[in-house]
Structures are given as C-alpha cells and as structure tokens.
Amino acid sequence: PEGQRILVTGGAGFIGSHLVDALVENNDVRVLDNLSTGQRDNVHSEATLVEGDIRDGETLETALSDIDLVFHEAAQVSVQRSVEVPEKSFEINTRPTLQILERARTDDIRVILASSCAIYGDPDYVPIDEEHPPSPSSPYGLEKLTIDRYARLYNDLYGVETVALRYFNVYGPRQTAGDYSGVISIFVDQATEGDDITVEGDGEQTRDFVHVDDVVRANLLAARTDAVGEAFNIGTGSSVTIRELSDMIQEVAKSNSDIVHVDPRSGDIGESRAEIDKAQTKLGFDPRTTLREGLESLIDE
C-alpha cells in the first residue's frame, strides 16, 4: 500500500510491529496497542502509537477515525490462556473485531485480519486446505473461527472488503510475549543458553513454520488483492517434526545443550501442514524464507 492511512492493532506486538516496519515508509501508520504483551520499543518511530485497549469501545472508535485500511493483529494469542479464562479471551478476540467491521461498513475501510490454523483443530488430513472442516479444539480456535466467518459475512452482506489470513506457526525476531512464546523462540533460548532443549512428547508431531517476513508479505498482498471476502492459509506448505526442529536448532546454534523429552502437552495437535495453493494462486503469495535460513538469522542476531 501507498499513501494510505493505516491502523495496525497490536502494532507493538510480534507480527504487528514487523508489519508496521514494512508500511511506515509509504503510508501514514497508526498503532493501537495496550502494551500488555507488546513493547513500546517495537513500534517504529514514524508510526503514531495510541496506547489503549481494543476492548474499550471509545478508544477503538477514535483509533479508527480517518482510516483507509486496518490490519487487525491485536489478540489474546495464547491457546493455553484461552482454556483457562475463556470469557476474557472471547472479549479480547471477538467483539472488538465486530466493532472494526461495523466501522469498516460505514467508512469504507478494508480489513485484513489475523485468523489461525487453530480453526481446524486436530486436522483430518494434511496438507490442510481452506475447505478442511473447521473443528476448533480450544476457545482460541473458536474465537478465530468466529472472526474469520464474520469477515466473510461482512463481505457477503455489506460488501466490506475483508481478507482473513489463517496463520500457521509464525516465528521470527521479537517473538516473546510474557509467559507465552512459540516453540522456536523457546528452543533457540535453550540452545544459546546451554539449557536442556525440552521436546514435549515423542517429538514426532509436525508443524508448518512460517517466517514473520513472509507473513508480512502475505498481509501486503492481501491489502491490494481483488479476492476480498476470502480466507487464505499462510504457511510454507512444508513441515518438520519437533524433533527435527530441535536437532536443526542445536546444529545451527552449535549448541552443546542436551535434547530431552518431557511430558507431551495435553490436547496437542499431531500433524499440521498448510496447503498454500490458494494463497499462491489468488494472492501471489510465495514464502521465501526456508526454516534453516530463518533459524540462522534468528540465532545470528
């Protein structure tokens, strides 16, 4: 996008802040973030930070003034936390999205929103295409499914330009948020600190790890696509087992950490891998960062 007035909710967080970095040069960028897990330091100096909570209707309304395009990344991102406090998770992840869509309806705003592979639950088959039946296994997954469907409905009913991006396992710099972080940031910390690398279960579970730079590119493509009202898987189309991941991180970090197996996580997903044909064909999405390159740059930092 160029010359647009853009709101990035969650723009101080992991994915949002990388998106802001990519947008500030050619656009007028506003960030709404309550800094609960996001960091002020992540916010590019050329963006305007509005410190506030998306649950606060007035704050969100003000942040949406004179905006052409919204990237909605603000969320309660922990699956585990959603299981502990489902009502709170719902309030953060669901209703504010509806408020954004309502404002988009009156003000002609395009909305790109962060959906998740969590909507599929434990999949019936891999690679998972967008037609895979949704079957969320956590409140988080159900919340993401809800907003994913609202995005489509607002396009069908009111012609709002929406795109839902179903992120698979995103990783990269700045991924640490309180007690919640993805397995790659945990393993990299363990490998570089010389602590045991903790593989949960037998390590045969698979994931499709997509670098945040590629996720940013997917968002930029979504901002100008004609394929509105659609949802797209955003992954790489490849997967590794968690055991392969631990070995690769140990090797790239030249670490002398031991790899140890600990109890499996209850309700863990067995296999996950995205079918990205739709994003490739309709968005022109082509992930560029291989897992090894992504890990090398993360560990070199």
Return residues touching ligand UD2 (CB under 6 A): 77, 79, 116-118, 169-170, 182-183, 186, 198-200, 205, 207, 242, 265, 268-269
Residue nearest to ligand UD2 (CB): 182
**Rounded least distance, CB 25 to ligand UD2, Å:** 28
180 is catalytic: no
Instruction: List, in order, residues 6 or more apart from 211 with CB less than 8 Å away.
Output: 170, 171, 172, 287, 289, 294
Among residues 52 and 203, whose Cβ is nearest to ligand UD2? 203
| 203 torsion bin: left (phi>0), alpha (psi -120 to 50), beta (else) | left
Instruction: List, in order, residues 6 or more apart from 265 with CB less than 8 Å away.
Output: 200, 201
Among residues 77 and 112, whose Cβ is nearest to ligand UD2? 77
Among residues 51 and 200, whose Cβ is nearest to ligand UD2? 200
Among residues 64 and 231, whose Cβ is nearest to ligand UD2? 231
- Per-residue H/E/C for 192-223: HHCCCEEEECCCCCEECEEEHHHHHHHHHHHH
**Which residue among 120, 140, 150, 167 is the active-site one?**
140
**Rounded least distance, CB 75 to ligand UD2, Å:** 9
**Rounded least distance, CB 48 to ligand UD2, Å:** 28
CA distance 1 to 224: 7
CA distance 41 to 183: 23
First-to-last CA distance in the chain? 29
Among residues 117 and 283, whose Cβ is nearest to ligand UD2? 117
**Rounded least distance, CB 132 to ligand UD2, Å:** 13
**Rounded least distance, CB 66 to ligand UD2, Å:** 32
Structure tokens at 237: 């189309």
- Alpha-helical (H) ranges within the chain are 14-23, 57-63, 79-84, 86-93, 95-107, 139-158, 183-193, 212-224, 242-252, 277-278, 291-300
Q: How many CB atoms lie within 10 A of CB 10?
A: 26
Tell me which residues are annotated as active site: 140
